[in-house]
Structure 1
Amino acid sequence: MKINGQMRYLWRAVDHEGEGLESFVTPTRDKGASLKFIKEAMKRHGCPRAIVTDKLRSHTAALKEIAAADLQETGRRLNNRAENSHLPVRRREREVLRFRRMKTLQKFTSVRASDRNHFSQERHLISRDLNRLRRSAPLAEWRIVMG
């Protein structure tokens, strides 16, 4: 994404259910940035069973450096969860006509991820009545916090 006319890169860690775990904004998309992001995510959330990435070579180089290259999986539709987690950020970017600073993008993505994890209930897997019950508790909590 562009911030003040300069390209910045948003790195996202998403778990197997599509919940955002970590977001990170860097000015480069190289081995160093990939390594820093992977180390930070592993420090906070532990070592995963598999790491699904796109075919960017910096991911492979970073994973080789920390001896986790055997965990990497790349494939045609494997990283769709991470790509779909970018959609709200892209929508917001269009609405406000770009972010002005890296710090605001970083804040927005971290807050948005926790907000989405809290309210997203995988609607396609449950009935309408159960969805209403599950949504009522977070909405009541939200009203208490905001009220």
Structure 2
Amino acid sequence: MSYKRHRFPSELIAHAVWLYFRFPLSFRLVEEMLLKRGIVVSYETIRRWSLKFGTAYARSLRRKAARPDDVWHLDEVRIVIRGKPHWLWRAVDQDGYVLDEILQTRRNTKAARRLLTWLLKQQGLRPGRLITDKLKSYGAARRKMRLSIRHLSHKGLNNRAEDSHLPLRKRERTMQRFRSPGGCQRFVSVFSAIRNLFVPPASVTTTLSRHIHQIRAFAQWSSATALSV
């Protein structure tokens, strides 16, 4: 993918996409913010940029390297798309980084098993522990897969995964719900990748350490968006 035959410079395209996915903004609000800086670009163009480049940016961002002692928090959240309920199955680690997420139409053992299978394939190793709420599908999926991983099932222990849904819920309201399952899956993959990069982990507590984290995040973002021109 490249920026060839685009009238606007690559830095502006990347900035517009970053604004849309990083903050609870509509395409029209991003258009207004750019207009304030003297840049005239339609919200429809920004939408096309987000569709074309968002996934490529997310793919270019390096994933956090998994460790064998990591703790995986698994949870699922209900999302209604055109009146039909779907479930977004998500895994986050002990630092709150989203490892992966899969939109499915079921909330059962088969869906839980698909999430676990995908996670193990993508991460390349097993976690130290699995933490879930009391949904029995997780335990059933683990047993069917014969995974010898310690599994803790307790609602009070899974706040990290449950809290990870809140930013997406806020965006869902801004977007007035998702229009299609495919559009939802594409959005959350980019949204989570950018949040992983820019939101500091809980261990970063001082102002200086947050600033250092942000400077490194912007450097990595510049590298990820420097696609072939």
What is the TM-score normalised by the length of structure 2?
0.59
Q: Report the CA distance between 1:42 and its aligned residue.
A: 1.1
* Cα contact 2:131–2:157 (8 A) shared by 1: yes
Residue 10 (1) aligns with residue 88 (2): yes
Task: Summarize deviations over 1:53-99 as a string: whole Å, max 9, x none.
Answer: 11111111111101226521112321111111111111111111110
Residue 136 (1) aligns with residue 225 (2): no
- Which residue does 2:16 correspond to in 1? none
Partner Cα distance (1:129, 1:57) in 2: 43
Alpha carbons of structure 1 residues 125 and 137: separation in structure 2 relative to 1, 3 Å: closer
- Which residue does 2:174 correspond to in 1? 95
Residue from 185, 198, 208 that aligns with 1:106: 185
Moved more, 8-17 or 130-139: 130-139
* Cα contact 1:3–1:98 (8 A) shared by 2: yes
Residue 23 (1) aligns with residue 81 (2): no
Alignment of 1:42-57 (within 5 A): 42-45=120-123, 46-57=125-136
Alignment of 1:40-79 (within 5 A): 40-45=118-123, 46-68=125-147, 71-79=150-158
Gaps of 5+ in 2: 1-78
Partner Cα distance (1:70, 1:124) in 2: 26
Structure number with bigger Rg = 2
Moved more, 69-78 or 38-47: 69-78
Q: Report the CA distance between 1:26 and its aligned residue.
A: 0.3
Task: Summarize deviations over 1:96-118 as a string: whole Å, max 9, x none.
Answer: 11101111111111111111111
Partner Cα distance (2:157, 2:204) in 1: 21
Moved more, 33-42 or 71-80: 71-80
What is the TM-score normalised by the length of structure 1?
0.88
Partner Cα distance (1:2, 1:34) in 2: 19
Alpha carbons of structure 1 residues 76 and 56: separation in structure 2 relative to 1, 3 Å: closer
Task: Summarize deviations over 1:98-140 as a string: whole Å, max 9, x none.
Answer: 1011111111111111111111113774321332233123235
Q: Report the CA distance between 1:31 and its aligned residue.
A: 1.0
SS in 2 for 1:77: helix
Partner Cα distance (1:70, 1:42) in 2: 12
Partner Cα distance (1:104, 1:119) in 2: 23
- Which residue does 1:119 correspond to in 2? 198
SS in 2 for 1:68: coil
Q: May I ask how many residue pairs the two structures share in their alignment?
A: 146
Residue identity matched to 2:130: I
Gaps of 5+ in 1: none
Residue identity matched to 1:50: R
Residue from 165, 174, 178 that aligns with 1:86: 165
